[in-house]
Every structure is written in C-alpha cells, then in structure tokens.
C-alpha cells in the first residue's frame, strides 16, 4: 500500500494549502484508492498559520480578547499543538485588517501579541512559536514586550508604553520585570525575510508604505527604529540592528530577540520540526509539495526547498506542483526536487485565469498520477 505525503504552501490569492491538499488527495485516491495520504498544509507565519498547524497535526484553537493595533479590544486566537506548543500569528492581534485605514502605523501597537504569549504561558505552554507577517505596526515589538512586563522609561524616569512614534523617547529598558513564566519558555519566531531593522532595506523603508506611511513618515519611522536599536544595545547589551529578519513585522523580529531571547528561524524549518516531518517520512513512497511561484527566491528557504532537503536525505522522490515556473531553477533539482509541474494550462495573464486555479491544479495532478500509474509506481 502506497504512502503519500502532501505538504504544499498556499497559492496566494487563489488557494489555501488545505484546499490544495484536498484536491491533490482526490487525484491520488482516484488512481490508488488504498493509498495512505498524509496532508500537512503549510502557512508561512502569516494569516492561516494557526489553522494550518491545527489541520496538519490537530490541537486546540484558543480565543482571547486582547489589545488590538489601535489599543482597542479585539478577539484574537492562537493554537496549542503537541500538548504544550503555542502557535501565534502576530497578525491575529496586530494585523493590517484590524487597523483603521488612518495611515498612522506610527501609532499602532503589538501589545496584544504579548498578551497572547502570556496567555499561552499561563496555559502551561513551554514552547511558543510566533509567526511574523501581515503586521499593521512599526513599533519594534516594544508593545508585546510591555504586555509581557518589560518596562520602558523616559529620561525623567516615567515608565510608558512606546509606539513607533515614540521609540526615541526610550531612555532605558528594564527586562527584569518580564513575567517570570516566560523565563523557561522556548520562544521561536517564524520569519521568512532577511531584512535588517533599519536602513534602506529595513522595516520602515521596505514595509511601512503598505501600512499607510507616506515618504516623510517612512524616514521618521526609520529614525525611530535606529533610536530603539541604540537603546537596546545600551540597556540590554544586544545589537539586533543588522540581524537578518530583525526588520520583519515592523521591527518585531529584532524585538523578539532583544526582549524575549527568541530564535529567528525560517518558517519552513519551524513547520517541519513542529509536525515531526522526519517521523512522518518513515515508509513514505512519494511527497508532493508546491507553492504559487517557484523561482530563485525558492532557493533561499521557501517551502519546496525546505521539504526537499528532508526528502533528499531520506531518498524519497519529491514532486512540486506550482503556479508559475521562473527561469532559472535548475539548482532545485540538485537540491532534492525530482520534478516540477506548473498548473498553468493557457497562455493568459494571471488576472484572467486565477479563477481556474483549483480546476487546473486538479487536472495537473490527474496528469501526474496517470503517468505515475503507467510507470508502475
């Protein structure tokens, strides 16, 4: 009896990873009705990450009222998997859809993310995974730190909760007041970008315009993050300014390292570890993965190549079903990918064919499975 693992990323704008798994499974079972199909839908840390983990390995979805990006209450959530691991999407408490369209990322907070982390710790979670993506904020994670008990002081000794607009007012930081429950919790941050905290490739210049910042505010926010970096180094002895990924989610990548001793990891590495992928690969005959577009960026640790490293080590064939295939991608084959198939079936602009994505993926899978059956797989 064949064992097949499905572990695709979402095709952004068309299909969730869960939907893709369902379509793939239908094709596989049509040709191999007795096959064991293991579905492990993937998300990169942004919206859908919690549900993807819960769908893949089961667990509990926990709903909590926390402080939203505009300091008003919002209903947020996180997942508990493997008994004691919390999976948090920072966007659930500080995401762009939760913010008013006021063009003021300088006044928004990540406070609710810290509240989610504390709630998970008080539930007994010994490991917390925080996915960075889709943020409305540019506060360097100070809001989350404040919620966890870290204190920020102005020059006059007054403590306050900074936002992106007031990072330069921080004169000192006291991390000793952080909730002691977090001391023994392993905190991992899912981060798939390598931007530094500030500068032309930093959080403000690259990401704040999509959050509503105009050119003047972008420069201002970059200066605020520079000030935050300096006071972090002065008060905590940590230089996170050029740390790859520190600029993720409005600088929260750097803040997670500075305030929570978090480890920044590529999302796919965290996913594969959490779903115990090496164990899942035992007795597996073939693996299907995929993502919306496979290109040179895929070589930097996106889903397909992360999976390929594992399947190659176990000498298991991996087929990637993708939306677009860009030139050149030859390196992916030496990296463990056995074959790549695009679901695009007609030569038209994406906007004209995106509605066809589910049926095109199903037909592509049918072709692949038809061929595999003919080869005696």
* pLDDT category of residue 55 using cuts at 50, 70 and 90: confident
Q: Angle of helix 267-274 relative to helix 49-57, nearest 10 degrees?
A: 30
The pLDDT assigned to 353 comes to: 67
Q: State the Cα–Cα distance between residues 161 and 89, nearest whole angstrom.
A: 22
In this prediction, residues 80-93 reach a mean pLDDT of 95
Residues in contact with 262: Cβ distance below 8 Å, sequence separation at least 6, in sequence order = 130, 187, 188, 189, 256
Cα four-point dihedral sign 227, 228, 232, 238: negative
Cα four-point dihedral sign 46, 65, 211, 152: negative
Model confidence at 212: pLDDT above 80: yes
- Alpha-carbon distance values, 140 to 18, 202, 330 (Å): 32, 11, 38
The answer to whether 298 and 305 have CB atoms below 8 angstroms apart is: yes
The pLDDT assigned to 49 comes to: 85
Tokens of 197: 């905290």
Query: Over pLDDT 90: what percentage of the chain?
Result: 76
The SS3 assignment for 289 reads strand
Model confidence at 117: pLDDT above 70: yes
Tokens of 158: 């007054």
The answer to whether 187 and 178 have CB atoms below 8 angstroms apart is: no
Could you tell me which of 348, 343, 377, 349 has the C-alpha nearest to residue 362?
343
pLDDT digits (tens, 9 = 90+) for 278-322: 999 999 999 999 988 887 666 666 789 999 999 999 999 999 999
The answer to whether 321 and 290 have CB atoms below 8 angstroms apart is: yes
Residue-range domain boundaries for the chain = 1-40+276-287+296-307+356-370, 49-267
The answer to whether 347 and 11 have CB atoms below 8 angstroms apart is: no
The answer to whether 320 and 341 have CB atoms below 8 angstroms apart is: yes
Please return the burial class of 112, using the count of CB atoms within 10 Å of its CB with bins 0-12, 13-18 and 19+. Answer: buried
Q: Do domains 1-40+276-287+296-307+356-370 and 49-267 have the same CATH topology?
A: no
The pLDDT assigned to 349 comes to: 72
* pLDDT category of residue 253 using cuts at 50, 70 and 90: very high
The pLDDT assigned to 195 comes to: 92
* Widest pairwise Cα distance in the chain: 77
Model confidence at 332: pLDDT above 80: yes
Fold of 49-267: Glycerate kinase, domain 2 (3.90.1510)
- The yes or no reply on domain 1-40+276-287+296-307+356-370 and CATH 3.40.50.720 is no
Model confidence at 142: pLDDT above 70: yes
Q: Which residue has the tokens 């050029």?
A: 242
pLDDT digits (tens, 9 = 90+) for 339-358: 999 998 777 676 666 778 89
In this prediction, residues 75-91 reach a mean pLDDT of 96
Q: State the Cα–Cα distance between residues 3 and 17, nearest whole angstrom.
A: 19
Query: Over pLDDT 70: what percentage of the chain?
Result: 96
């Amino acid at each position: 009896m064949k064992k097949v693992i499905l572990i695709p990323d979402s095709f952004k704008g068309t299909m969730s990873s869960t939907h893709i798994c369902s379509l793939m499974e239908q094709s596989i079972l049509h040709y191999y009705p007795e096959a064991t199909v293991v579905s492990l839908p993937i998300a990169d840390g942004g919206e859908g990450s919690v549900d993807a983990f819960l769908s893949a390995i089961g667990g509990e979805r926990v709903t909590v009222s926390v402080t939203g990006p505009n300091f008003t209450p919002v209903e947020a959530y996180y997942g508990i998997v493997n008994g004691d691991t919390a999976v948090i999407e920072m966007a659930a408490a500080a995401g762009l859809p939760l913010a008013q369209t006021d063009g003021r990322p300088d006044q928004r907070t990540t406070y609710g993310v810290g509240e989610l982390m504390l709630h998970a710790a008080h539930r007994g979670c010994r490991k917390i995974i925080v996915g960075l993506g889709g943020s409305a904020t540019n506060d360097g994670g100070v809001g989350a730190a404040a919620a966890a008990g870290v204190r920020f002081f102005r020059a006059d000794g007054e403590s306050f909760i900074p936002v992106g607009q007031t990072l330069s007012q921080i004169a000192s930081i006291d991390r000793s007041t952080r909730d002691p429950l977090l001391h023994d919790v392993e905190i991992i941050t899912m981060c798939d970008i390598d931007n530094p905290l500030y500068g032309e490739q930093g959080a403000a210049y690259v990401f704040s315009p999509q959050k509503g910042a105009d050119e003047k505010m972008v420069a201002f926010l970059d200066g605020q993050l520079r000030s935050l970096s300096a006071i972090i180094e002065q008060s905590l002895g940590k230089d996170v300014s050029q740390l790859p990924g520190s600029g993720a989610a409005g600088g929260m990548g750097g803040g997670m390292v500075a305030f929570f001793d978090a480890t920044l990891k590529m999302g796919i590495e965290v996913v594969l570890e959490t779903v115990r992928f090496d164990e899942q690969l035992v007795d597996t005959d073939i693996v299907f993965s995929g993502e919306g577009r496979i290109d040179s960026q895929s070589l930097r640790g996106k889903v397909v190549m992360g999976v390929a490293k594992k399947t190659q080590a176990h000498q298991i064939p991996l087929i990637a079903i993708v939306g677009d295939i860009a030139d050149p991608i030859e390196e992916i084959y030496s990296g463990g990918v056995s074959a790549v198939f695009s679901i695009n079936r007609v030569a038209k602009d994406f906007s004209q064919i995106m509605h066809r994505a589910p049926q095109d993926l199903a037909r592509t899978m049918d072709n692949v499975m038809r061929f595999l059956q003919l080869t005696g797989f």
